[in-house]
């Protein structure tokens, strides 16, 4: 099987907190790895930002400097790529701010990397699918009752919806 990014990692949660405690580790991350910080983890990794524009500049600069993909999780998750491009994800809802939702995203990203997707494509596709699955789950459930396993349960329908949207124009 073709491997687009051999040796790439997906780093989330405790891995990011360990790196934040020893910034020298940032330069040991394999190129084309994916980092998935939420805003608090992002600040611990890269310092306090003056405002959202400064944060976006730091996001883009660090992705280029470290040659990694950084997925800054939030309402409109931003994905910064080593080539300087920035993607903003439109899918997802506030109900996804629940325990385990980030772990689901990490699993999706690891799966896409293992299937041979380049890291930037794995990140853009994975974040979108994660949010779309959350949106589909929210239709059946509600934002208030959404849990991580609901996102998992709607991954298949999210893949089908995305495939139908982009192949049947």
Q: Where are the domains of the chain?
A: 10-167
CATH fold, domain 10-167, is 3.40.1190
Is residue 12 within 8 A of residue 33, CB to CB? The reply is: no
Task: Tell me how far apart the alpha carbons of residues 159 and 154 are, in angstroms, rounded to a whole number.
Answer: 9
Percent of the chain with pLDDT over 90: 88
- What distance lies between CA 37 and its chain's CA centroid? 8
Place of tokens 């051999």: 6
* 3-33 residue pLDDT tens: 567 789 999 999 999 999 999 999 999 999 9
b (16+ CB within 10 A) / e for 102-128: bebbbbbbbebbeeebbbbbbbbbbbb
CA angle 13, 137, 110 (to 5 degrees): 35
pLDDT tens digit string along 78-115?
Answer: 999 999 999 999 999 999 999 999 999 999 999 999 99
Q: Look up residue 20 and give its DSSP letter.
A: H
């Amino acid at each position: 099987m073709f491997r687009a990014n051999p040796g790439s990692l997906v780093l989330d949660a405790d891995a990011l907190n360990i790196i934040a405690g020893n910034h020298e580790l940032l330069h040991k991350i394999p190129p084309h790895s994916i980092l998935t910080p939420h805003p608090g983890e992002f600040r611990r990794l890269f310092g306090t930002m003056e405002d959202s524009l400064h944060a976006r500049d730091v996001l883009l600069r660090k992705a280029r400097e470290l040659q990694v993909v950084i997925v800054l999780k939030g309402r409109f998750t931003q994905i910064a790529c080593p080539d300087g491009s920035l993607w903003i994800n439109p899918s997802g809802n506030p109900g996804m701010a629940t325990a385990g939702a980030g772990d689901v995203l990490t699993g999706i990203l690891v799966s896409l990397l293992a299937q041979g997707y380049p890291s930037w494509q794995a990140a853009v596709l994975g974040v979108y699918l994660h949010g779309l699955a959350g949106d589909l789950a929210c239709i059946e459930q509600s934002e208030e009752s959404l849990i991580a396993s609901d996102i998992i349960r709607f991954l298949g329908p999210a893949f089908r919806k995305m495939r139908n949207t982009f192949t049947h124009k």
